[in-house]
Structure 1
Amino acid sequence: MYIRVYELKEMAAGDYSRIMKRSEVETGSILGDVAKVIDRVKERGDEALVDYTREFDGISISKDQIKVTAEEIQDAYAKVDPETVDAIKTLAGNVKRFHAAQMPNKMWSTELSPGLLAGQMVIPLEKVGCYVPGGRGWFPSAVMMSALPAKVAGVPQVTVCTPSAPDGSVPAGTLIACDVCGADSVYRIGGSQAVAAMAYGTQTVPKVDKIVGPGSKWVLAAFKLLYGQVEIGTHAGPGEGLIIADESADPEFAAADICIQAEHGLDSAGVLVTHVRELAYAVQERIGRHIERLSDYRKNFVVESLKKYGAIVITDSLEESIAYANAYAVEHLEIMTREPILDMQKIKNAGGIYLGHYTPLSTGCFGSGPNHVLPTGRRAVVSGGLKTADFYKAVTFEYFSKEGLSNLQDAMVKLADYEGFPAHGNAILERFARD
């Protein structure tokens, strides 16, 4: 069998811990090497980018080739079939509309007390860098999920860095997505050197204020080391999917869906939790046929990741299944139950939620609308997915009339004295010293 079935109440502590903990991206052993890359990029700029692209990727580019030209982007349309171009445009439209709906009013205010007006205004960040991974594949969807929310938020300068293909070109689908999503510039560099370039700036790559996007352990190590030099918006690790299912679930659907995140890599996770014993074993029996449909490349990922981090967990009730899911705090959560919207309201920890029998989590990966850059490694306990709010500042303001300040001066001066800040209180009292 490709995946084991466990009784939750009889589960060995080691198995429970391994599945609950899942894979962790270990970066400690490479931080020293990544620090050297960062220092060299900081000191030598474009020259270091050219050297590292040759050393790490086996690709020779010149300094003039670091930035992708407008002609290359336009030529990309001829290299991709029209149906794929239309798919990118259609799904990007969904992502744009969803993130536009997330935007608050640009400015609002309210009178808190007579003579006191307070409010908030939304100010977009000025320069954002989007890291779009390569290596195991090419991901136009990753461009949509990072560049589009930034543009919707009003960021004037959006930079994309992505590794090139073995021939030195950037995959056409990625370039089309950059064009559709309004990226202002694209650079054919990847890895920790790309993160360093965006953090410090080089002769060609502009310095940004914030970097978002998923990546390899080398990229995540660079995020750790550069936090503080530049704001880091995401720390996405290996993919995770968990399904809550009851007797209404189709075992064929559930078996197919367990494979979704598992095909991302050897360190991904796929879990089904259900109180229906017959469903658990039916899914275990059917999962093989879905794995056998995959290419050898993806099949290897699914087989190995399910062996290490996959599980079908049998609970005593739907409530216990929900409690398990809340403890797991998964990146992608499917609720394949009779009343998914009702059950969703009992969820406390999840990156993204996919409701019903016809919403496999893969819908969210490609552009249904919500963002697919989601918290992994139990970070869903404290955070949600990437959103437009990650690309703007909510700046508060307040205005007192003389009457308004007079109404509150006694309370404010009293608290200033209590906290030991006489200058604070004096500044308020000075406004009325001549009265």
Structure 2
Amino acid sequence: MILQKYTWKDLSDERKEALLDRSETDIRNAMEKVAPIIEDVRTRGDAALKEYTLKFDGADLAGMPVRVSDAEFDRAEASLDGKVKEALEYAIENVRRFHMSQKPKGIEMVEIRPGILAGEASRPIESAGLYVPRGRGSFPSMLYMLAVPAVIAGVEHIAIVTPPGPDGTVDPACLYAARLCGVSNVYRGGGAQAIAALAYGTESIPPCQKVVGPGSMYVTAAKRLLAQIIDPGLPAGPSESIVVADETADPELVCADLFIEAEHGSDSSALLITDSSRLADEVSAYAEEYLLRIPEERRGYIRDVFSGYGGIILVDDMQQAIEVVNLFAPEHLQLQTASPLDLVAKIRNAGEILLGSKVPFSVANYAVGANAVLPTGGKAKTWSAVSVRDFIHYSSVVQVGDGAYKELAEHTTALADYEGFFTHAEALRIRQKRSNG
């Protein structure tokens, strides 16, 4: 049986912890392996990047520039099928429309009291590195999910790194998507070595202030180790999903949607949570048949997922289902229930919430418009999807009028004296003396 079944109330604390922990243990172990790679790229730059690209991606970049040329962009565009171009244009426009609403509208001041104004001035960060994975497929969708909000935010320097194919070329759909987004700096490189290159810079890749993008456990491990050098952005590691379904759900659709995120890789996690034992049995039966229709490479990933970080969890009722969801804090969450809107208010922790059977994870991953780069590893308890806000920082702006100053100074002096900060209070007393003539 491909889908293991668990009854939540019967699971030991250790088994619950293992399901909730998913691939986080693997990521912690990976940190030891990537530490020397990071140091090697820091000291040897492009040479180390190229050596690791040959070792891990099988691409010999000897004699090839790390940066993708304009001619390669042209060839990529010419080689793409028209339907793929149209799909990219459609999806990117949807993502752009969604994210435009997140762009700050200049300085917005609030009158705290008469004569006291406070607000925020927004500015884009100066540079951002975008990591686009490729190891288990090509991901132009990840590229535009990252590039569109960065461009809308106004980031001056955007660098995209992505693993090349065996011949050293970058995926043509990724290059076309980058061009549609208005980003021309694309570099060959993946894994921990690419994250190190973005953090420290190499002869070809300028250092970036922030690095954003999903990746393998090694990419996630590298970002954690480099968190003192760069802002590593939201924690976006191996893919994870939960489908919550009740007895009204279509078992074939539930099965199909459960497999979507599982095919990303062996370190993904995919769970069905249901209060219907009948639905669980029917989904499990479909899974055996459905697996045989899946290409062998993806079939292997799915088997690995459901023997490790996946399966079916039986709960007593929908209330308990939501309790499990909030504990897990999944990257992707889909509700296939009779009244999904009734459950939304009870969900505290999820990267995205998809309502009903007409929003499988795939349409949200590609083309709905909302960002599909989401927090993983339980970090949806405090993190949100990538947005324009990820590429903007804010400065508080304060202005005080003459009429408001006296009262403000009196209260501030009292608090400064209480806390024992002499110069805080003295600066105000000096002003008061001058005011008194």
Residues 405-426 of structure 1, C-alpha deviations (whole Å, 9 max, x = no match): 1121110000011111111111
The change in CA–CA distance for 1:336 and 1:407 in structure 2 (over 3 A counts) is same
2:420 equivalent to 1:399: no
Query: What code does the residue aligned with 1:214 have?
Result: P
The whole-number CA distance in structure 1 between the counterparts of 2:32 and 2:266 is 25
1:63 deviates by: 6.5
Aligned pairs for 1:36-185 (under 5 A) are 36-62=36-62, 65-185=65-185
Residues 344-368 of structure 1, C-alpha deviations (whole Å, 9 max, x = no match): 1110111111111211112111131
The whole-number CA distance in structure 2 between the counterparts of 1:346 and 1:148 is 31
Residues 148-194 of structure 1, C-alpha deviations (whole Å, 9 max, x = no match): 11111111211101111001111101111111112230011122221
The whole-number CA distance in structure 2 between the counterparts of 1:428 and 1:387 is 41
Query: What code does the residue aligned with 2:68 have?
Result: V
2:415 equivalent to 1:415: yes
The whole-number CA distance in structure 2 between the counterparts of 1:159 and 1:382 is 27
Check the 8 A contact 1:38/1:192 in 2, yes or no: yes
> Which 4+ runs in 1 deviate beyond 4 A?
27-30
Q: Which runs of 5+ in 1 are unaligned?
A: none
Aligned pairs for 1:182-331 (under 5 A) are 182-331=182-331
Check the 8 A contact 1:5/1:281 in 2, yes or no: no
The change in CA–CA distance for 1:312 and 1:73 in structure 2 (over 3 A counts) is same
Residues 218-253 of structure 1, C-alpha deviations (whole Å, 9 max, x = no match): 322221221111111032222111111122211111
Check the 8 A contact 2:214/2:238 in 1, yes or no: no
1:279 deviates by: 1.4
1:255 deviates by: 0.9
1:6 deviates by: 2.7
The whole-number CA distance in structure 2 between the counterparts of 1:32 and 1:63 is 31
The change in CA–CA distance for 1:421 and 1:142 in structure 2 (over 3 A counts) is same
Q: Secondary structure at the match of 1:242?
A: strand
The whole-number CA distance in structure 2 between the counterparts of 1:30 and 1:321 is 32
Query: What code does the residue aligned with 2:246 have?
Result: D
Query: What code does the residue aligned with 1:279 have?
Result: L
User: Which residue of structure 2 aligns with residue 336 of structure 1?
Assistant: 336
- Percent identity over the alignment is 38
The whole-number CA distance in structure 2 between the counterparts of 1:36 and 1:240 is 28
Query: What code does the residue aligned with 2:432 have?
Result: F
The whole-number CA distance in structure 1 between the counterparts of 2:402 and 2:390 is 37
How many pairs align? 435
Residues 129-161 of structure 1, C-alpha deviations (whole Å, 9 max, x = no match): 001111111100110111111111111211101
The whole-number CA distance in structure 2 between the counterparts of 1:223 and 1:39 is 13
Query: What code does the residue aligned with 1:23 have?
Result: S
The whole-number CA distance in structure 2 between the counterparts of 1:262 and 1:114 is 57
The whole-number CA distance in structure 2 between the counterparts of 1:19 and 1:56 is 29
Check the 8 A contact 1:25/1:217 in 2, yes or no: no
Check the 8 A contact 2:263/2:298 in 1, yes or no: yes
The whole-number CA distance in structure 1 between the counterparts of 2:377 and 2:72 is 38
Instruction: Give TM-score, length-normalised by structure 2.
Output: 0.95
- Structure 1 stretch displaced more, 136-145 or 304-313: 304-313
The change in CA–CA distance for 1:362 and 1:210 in structure 2 (over 3 A counts) is same
- Structure 1 stretch displaced more, 55-64 or 166-175: 55-64
Check the 8 A contact 2:236/2:375 in 1, yes or no: yes
2:340 equivalent to 1:353: no
1:13 deviates by: 4.2
The change in CA–CA distance for 1:241 and 1:27 in structure 2 (over 3 A counts) is closer
The whole-number CA distance in structure 1 between the counterparts of 2:246 and 2:191 is 42
The whole-number CA distance in structure 1 between the counterparts of 2:352 and 2:30 is 31
The whole-number CA distance in structure 2 between the counterparts of 1:99 and 1:332 is 19
Residues 323-380 of structure 1, C-alpha deviations (whole Å, 9 max, x = no match): 1211221111101112112211110111111111211112111131111111112111
Q: Secondary structure at the match of 1:65?
A: coil
Query: What code does the residue aligned with 2:387 have?
Result: K
The root-mean-square deviation of aligned C-alpha atoms, in Å, is 1.7
Query: What code does the residue aligned with 2:292 have?
Result: E
The change in CA–CA distance for 1:32 and 1:340 in structure 2 (over 3 A counts) is closer
User: Which residue of structure 1 aligns with residue 430 of structure 2?
Assistant: 430
The whole-number CA distance in structure 1 between the counterparts of 2:345 and 2:306 is 29
1:87 deviates by: 0.5
Check the 8 A contact 1:212/1:234 in 2, yes or no: yes
Q: Which runs of 5+ in 2 are unaligned?
A: none
- Structure 1 stretch displaced more, 346-355 or 270-279: 270-279
Instruction: Give TM-score, length-normalised by structure 1.
Output: 0.95
The whole-number CA distance in structure 1 between the counterparts of 2:316 and 2:228 is 47
